Amino acid sequence: MELHDVWFVLIAVLWTGYFFLEGFDFGIGVLTKLLARDRKERRVLINTIGPVWDGNEVWLLSAGGATFAAFPEWYATLFSGFYLPLLIILLCLIVRGVAFEYRAKRPEDKWQTNWEHAIFWTSLIPALLWGVAFGNIVRGVKINADMEYVGNFWDLLNPYSILGGLVTLSLFTFHGTVFAGLKTVGDIRVRARRLALKLGVVTAALALGFLIWTQADNGDVWSLIAMIIAVVSLVGAIGAVAAGREGWSFALSGVTITAAVAMLFLTLFPNVMPSSLNDAWNLTVTNASSTPYTLKIMTWCAGIATPVVLLYQGWTYWVFRKRIGTHHIADAH
Amino acid sequence: MELALAPETLARWQFGTTTVYHFLFVPLTISLAALTAGLQTAWVRTNNEKYLRATKFWGKLFLINIAMGVVTGIVQEFQFGMNWSDYSRFVGDIFGAPLAFEALIAFFFESTFIGLWIFGWDKLPKKIHLACIWMVSLGTILSAYFILAANSWMQHPVGYRINKERGRAELTDFWHVLTQNTALAQFFHTITAAFLVGGAFMVGIAAFHLARKKHIPVMRTSLRLGLVTVVAAGLLTAISGDQLGKVMFKQQPMKMAAAEALWDGQNSAPFSIFAYGDVSKGRNSVEISVPGVLSFLADGNFNSYVPGINDINKAEQEKYGPGDYRPNIPVAFWSFRWMIGFGMASFALGILGLWLTRKKFLLPPGMRTSEDEVPHLVLFRNKALSPKLARCYWIVALWTLLFPLIANSWGWIFTEMGRQPWVVYGVLQTRDAVSPGVSQGEVLTSMILFTLLYAVLAVIEVKLLVKYIKAGPPELTDDDLNPPTRIGGDHDDADRPMAFSY
């Protein structure tokens, strides 16, 4: 296994970490309208991710930075090619971060309501668009001989990628609902469980369709295994939440996300971004990567930093392990 | 391309706008993190409640500010791929690495521990909670270091070779990239300038409260801490700026000449205080200058020869082929002056403030009728004049609160504009760095949307800051004074409301 293959795996790991972690906090954002009945419940939901969402988001920055360093051509083609969708995601992430921090900084009803609308939409839209983006990466887009994207915005909206977007949206929301069940007490926990069941069924249907489509287009035996793991764990997650075992359910929905991302990257390899115009113009792990020297340095850095990051981020989840409910929220504002 | 709306021009405007905007939050974040951590350390060590109130007050302002710094920073990382894809392809092998290091080592640190600090007041024992804010501070400084190493490589590329076959620059010595003198000088200068911003911010706000005779114990402590920070940071900024200038003179002579609007090289070159340059004619119509000072700044010798813009342009044409290698001279000239001017003014004010608030000039405790009188200064032992003078100083301090921030912004504009037309000095020109596949409409759309959003957020942020500045330090509760003894919170407080919730 050469270093650029290692980095292909590491970038898959970083995206997996991002979708696993920010997945549930996007889900919580969507739930503020789907599950919470009043402001106090919305605050309970937001506080379940309060201490961790910022750290979760850094997984995206790491995935982006690592792609820049390890596969500059991929980074350049991807982000200049997917210009407008990425712009929308960035605008959402800006508003979302500010919304979390500023919502409670003023007592006025209107102020808080506005930020709550913002949290809902800026969680929903990126959750949808990441799926659209990955659908396009896997399916291949119009890339020319110079590695430039030559399609337009509308080329990115095709049935496969839109289905991919719906899968990430529903999967993240399901993941978030299970997380809400895991982190709350009282009435909201009971309702989270009930909602998770319904969402689980919808997610399973969408995901099954998308994964089978992916497998039929580009799959091999490894991607088939990943697909089976994804589907089985999703069914398991639904079963566990029905049985009231939120911890298991959350772990299993995490496995679903991991296996699904793994499947996408398995079908991609050894390409990183195939061209739909000509197979010779595909961006691959070899023609898009950095030099072995840069990759070696990066490998050292990631090899040392990633376990440490996992350690202290894990510790954060441990510190804030207690469930919270409406009675933990003070009445003021 | 000269067109006003050419994608290159738009991409440059967008980069400039988003970067300067992002950098309004960065220095304050770096310095307030450390200052807040210092105040919290004082609380943990002394148990004096005024330090805890100060920690909570400055910590709140720090959080409002860092929220904006974090979210605007995300744009920076992806902008290279969006608007500057040819740049990314050309330098990714080198430039990407410090960026990835920043995310993996610094950002994770900063964002994870900030969550622990914000929500950890009732979940963490006192000392562990304190360690969290120090971790945040370390994260901000590390982050600055990696970014500045990346930027320094663009100012002065080292440790690389050009691979003609793949048409890109490739890394040969990463250690050299991280430790070259440009990177170290820039880091030293940027960090000290950041503390100048935080110090002046503290002084201004403390002065505002002192002028209104409110929250005196907390604000007096803050005022002194701010003043010491301004003076120490101001001194170090000047020293590091001088070092950086000398490095720049060797590595980017064009930038130094542009900063001085020195058209033709000369011995014992003057430092010009004011000039009206005419770029097309290549000379200055009006100029006021001090002879020899530029030579001294550049080389440490009043008689040294300093090459001029025209000489360097000619030399670069011979080296790199026909073309115009001059940056925008008026921008370089004035940004350099505004950087120095605003920075120096702030430093001078810090010295004055420190001198004015010496114990000798404060009303002695025996003569005070109430706590309110403490900020009154007894200058020259003239009691009638002193409250007026003190008030004057408070008002000036408040009005000059943003001076170092203005200096910081102009400093960056100078650094980046002075390097033009190069994006990587001597290696890659800016016009060859833009994304060829991105349309004018796309860049224009993103520029308009970012500008609008940033403008709205600026208004919101400033209003929030003003609200919390006016509110002053919070009163302490029993919970504040009795932090938990175990990680995750004590057992008997399971149903107590959270100390902090969104």
Q: What are the two backbone dihedrals, phi and then psi, of residue A83, each rounded to the nearest 5 degrees?
A: -60, -55
Asked if residue B3 has pLDDT above 60, the reply is no
Residue keyed to tokens 């890394």: B171
Contact residues, B window 140-199, toward A, CB-based 8 Å cutoff: 168, 170-172, 174
CATH classification of the domain holding A246: 1.20.1630.10
Mean pLDDT of the region B432-453: 89
The H-assigned helical ranges of B156-252 are: 174-179, 181-211, 216-251
**In chain B, what residues touch A309 (CB-CB under 8 Å)?**
104, 108, 112
| A281 domain-assigned | no
Residue B1 banded pLDDT, cuts 50, 70, 90: very low
Inter-chain touch B468–A62, beta carbons under 8 Å: no
- The residue of chain B nearest to residue A70, with distances taken between CA atoms, is B93
Inter-chain touch A54–B468, beta carbons under 8 Å: no
Tell me the shortest Cα–Cα distance from B405 to chain A, in angstroms: 22
Inter-chain touch B104–A94, beta carbons under 8 Å: no
| A80 domain-assigned | yes
pTM: 0.91
Q: Which domain holds residue A71?
A: 3-140+151-273
Compute the count of residue pairs across chains A and B with CB atoms less than 8 Å apart. Answer: 255
Distance (Å, whole) CA B348 – CA B397: 11
Instruction: Determine the pLDDT at residue B166.
Output: 87
Residue B387 banded pLDDT, cuts 50, 70, 90: confident
Q: Does B455 touch chain A (CB under 8 A)?
A: no
| A179 domain-assigned | yes
| A307 domain-assigned | no
**In chain B, what residues touch A94 (CB-CB under 8 Å)?**
71-72, 74-75, 453, 457
Mean pLDDT of the region B380-407: 80
**In chain A, what residues touch B441 (CB-CB under 8 Å)?**
none
Distance (Å, whole) CA A131 – CA A144: 24
| A326 domain-assigned | no
Inter-chain touch A61–B445, beta carbons under 8 Å: no
Q: Could you say which of B70, B85, B450 has the minimum Cβ distance to residue A54?
A: B70
**In chain B, what residues touch A62 (CB-CB under 8 Å)?**
100, 103-104, 107-108
What parts of chain A have a pLDDT lower than 70?
332-333
Contact (CB, 8 A) for B40 and B130:
yes
Distance (Å, whole) CA B139 – CA B291: 44
Distance (Å, whole) CA B471 – CA B232: 29
Q: Does B487 touch chain A (CB under 8 A)?
A: yes
Contact (CB, 8 A) for A56 and A213:
no
- The residue of chain B nearest to residue A289, with distances taken between CA atoms, is B93
**In chain B, what residues touch A91 (CB-CB under 8 Å)?**
449-450, 453
Instruction: Determine the pLDDT at residue B220.
Output: 86
The two three-digit tokens of residue B299, written as one number:
């080389």
Q: How far apart are the first and last CA of chain B?
A: 49
Tell me the shortest Cα–Cα distance from A136 to chain B, in angstroms: 17
Instruction: Determine the pLDDT at residue A178.
Output: 95
Nearest partner of B104 among A116, A310, A22, A196, judged by Cα: A310
Residue keyed to tokens 């399971």: B494
| A284 domain-assigned | no
Task: Give how many domains chain A has, as a whole number.
Answer: 1
Convert the pLDDT of each residue in A6-26 to its tens digit: 999 999 999 999 999 999 999
**Which of B62-76, B357-371, B427-441 shows the lowest mean pLDDT across its residues?**
B357-371
Instruction: Determine the pLDDT at residue B467.
Output: 93
**Mutation target among A47, A105, A129, A321 for the B interface, most CBs of B within 10 A:** A105
Q: Could you say which of A61, A66, A322 has the minimum Cβ distance to residue B74?
A: A61
Residue B383 banded pLDDT, cuts 50, 70, 90: low
A303: burial class by Cβ within 10 Å (0-12, 13-18, 19+)? exposed
Residue keyed to tokens 């003057």: B270
B65: burial class by Cβ within 10 Å (0-12, 13-18, 19+)? buried
Q: What share of chain B is helix, strand, coil (3-state, %, to 5)?
A: 70, 5, 25
**In chain B, what residues touch A54 (CB-CB under 8 Å)?**
70, 111-112, 114-115
Instruction: Determine the pLDDT at residue B374.
Output: 56
| A300 domain-assigned | no
B76: burial class by Cβ within 10 Å (0-12, 13-18, 19+)? middle
The two three-digit tokens of residue A216, written as one number:
């039929």
Element containing residue B160 per DSSP (H, E): strand B160-163
Q: How many CB atoms lie within 10 A of CB B18?
A: 21
Contact (CB, 8 A) for A43 and A28:
no
What does the mean pLDDT of chain B come to? 86
Q: Could you say which of A67, A72, A149 has the minimum Cβ distance to residue B437?
A: A149
| A10 domain-assigned | yes
Distance (Å, whole) CA B167 – CA A146: 12
Q: How many CB atoms lie within 10 A of CB B185?
A: 23
Distance (Å, whole) CA B80 – CA B57: 37
Asked if residue B121 has pLDDT above 80, the reply is yes
The amino acid at B253: P
Tell me the shortest Cα–Cα distance from B451 to chain A, in angstroms: 11
- Name the E strands within chain A: 271-273, 283-284
Instruction: Determine the pLDDT at residue B9.
Output: 86
Inter-chain touch B116–A319, beta carbons under 8 Å: yes
